[in-house]
Every structure is written in structure tokens, then in C-alpha cells.
Amino acid sequence: NENAPVFANETFVVSVRENAPIGTKVTTVSADDADAGRNGYITYSISPGSSAEMFLVDGETGEISTLTTLDYETLTEKTIPLVVIARDKGVPSLSATAAVEVTVLDMNDHCP
């Protein structure tokens, strides 16, 4: 295992509308690994403590989706930072991280 995964971007900047249904796709992160075979196989995860309770990343595809309904008015921070980890299956395993900044967009959710 000679190569660590490399993300397509160091930072992914995306947005999602408040009150989007649970399971709404936010973005897909992508990393490549120059190693062949098992050493080049990548899995994705969200670093614990980086708003991991609000989002889910598909370990195989890197697709990030909402785990909860986001309410603009109740959020302390309107841009939610995540750290995504790409880890290969080599021994020892090598990894890389990328920042994901999810901005929650305010929608008119009050009737006139």
C-alpha cells in the first residue's frame, strides 16, 4: 500500500434547503487511490463530532444525504462543517480528509 486516497477537492461547498426531506442528497464526494486491488478500494465516513448526527455518507459511493430535517431558524450556524474521511483497505490503511461546508438555505415556511 504505497498511496493514500486523494480527494477531487480539498473543500466541497454545497447548499441544501431547510426542511428538505430526510434522505435528501446534498452532494457526492470522490477520492481516488493509485494503488491496485484491495489497497485501492476506498470507503467513506464522516468524522465523529463534525455534525455527523445531521448527515450520512454512503461508505461506498461517497453520497452525502440528510439524516434529519434542517430548520434554518433553529440552527446556531447556517453553514454546517463536516469532515469526510476516505480510507483505503490496505494494511496499514491510509486515509485522507476533505472539508464539506453545507449551507442551509432559508425558505419561506410561514403562511401569509
Q: Which CATH number does the domain housing residue 64 bear?
A: 2.60.40.60
Q: Please check whether residue 110 lies inside any domain of the structure.
A: no
Give the range of the structural domain holding residue 12, as residue numbers without chain letter. 6-105
Does some domain include residue 112? no
Domain count, the chain: 1
Across the chain, which has 112 residues, the per-10-residue mean pLDDT values are 94 95 97 93 90 91 96 89 96 96 85 59
| pLDDT value of residue 76 | 86
Contacts of 60-64 with C-beta under 8 Å, sequence gap 24+, read 61/28, 62/28, 62/29, 62/30, 62/31, 62/86, 63/25, 63/27, 63/28, 64/25, 64/26, 64/27, 64/28, 64/29, 64/100
Residue with cell 438555505: 105
